[in-house]
């Protein structure tokens, strides 16, 4: 069955997987948390994100619901050639979201959020 080209993951599957990973990280969820939310094993969630295993339409809809995005989100930026690479700014934003979600103290999170808001306001005023 694995020799059947219909069952083999391709560039689109990799793109969709990377979009799932990107959104999961933005929400501060671990792969295990997302796996639990959609009712699959950690290994299966990992394979979805890597584009190793194809995702059924029903499962993709379920993932979209859990991650709070429309199904079309996973196909944004899709080209026929390959999935686009993240630029430095996107990578930095993902890293920031991951680190922010890892802060266990809500008061510290709020303080960091207020600081970012103040910096953004100050930069906009310049």
Residues 48 and 103 in one domain: no
Average pLDDT over residues 75-96: 75
User: What integer pLDDT is reported at residue 7 of this predicted model?
Assistant: 55
Residues 47 and 6 in one domain: yes
Label residue 4 by pLDDT band (50, 70, 90): very low
Label residue 94 by pLDDT band (50, 70, 90): confident
Residues 12 and 44 in one domain: yes
Domain count, the chain: 2
**Residue 4's domain is classified under what CATH number?**
1.10.260.40
User: What integer pLDDT is reported at residue 3 of this predicted model?
Assistant: 46
- Prediction pTM value: 0.62
Residues 124 and 73 in one domain: no
80 pLDDT more than 60 = no
C-alpha distance from residue 7 to each of 40, 42, 51 (Å): 19, 21, 12
82 pLDDT more than 80 = no
Residues 9 and 49 in one domain: yes
Domain holding 79, by residue range, is: 1-85
Residues 6+ apart with CB under 8 A from 13: 51, 53, 54, 55
Residues 11 and 67 in one domain: yes
Residues 78 and 91 in one domain: no
Residues 96 and 75 in one domain: no
Residues 20 and 79 in one domain: yes
Of 3 and 25, the structure prediction assigns the larger pLDDT to 25
């Amino acid at each position: 069955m694995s020799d059947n080209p219909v069952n083999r993951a391709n560039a689109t599957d990799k793109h969709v997987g990377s979009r799932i990973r990107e959104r999961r990280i933005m929400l501060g969820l671990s792969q295990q948390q997302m796996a639990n939310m959609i009712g699959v094993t950690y290994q299966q969630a990992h394979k979805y994100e890597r584009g190793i295993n194809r995702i059924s339409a029903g499962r993709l809809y379920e993932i979209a619901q859990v991650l709070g995005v429309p199904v079309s989100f996973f196909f944004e930026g899709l080209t026929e050639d390959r999935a686009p690479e993240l630029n430095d700014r996107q990578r930095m934003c993902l890293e920031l979201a991951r680190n922010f979600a890892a802060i266990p103290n809500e008061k510290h999170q709020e303080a960091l959020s207020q600081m970012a808001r103040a910096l953004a306001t100050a930069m906009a005023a310049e």
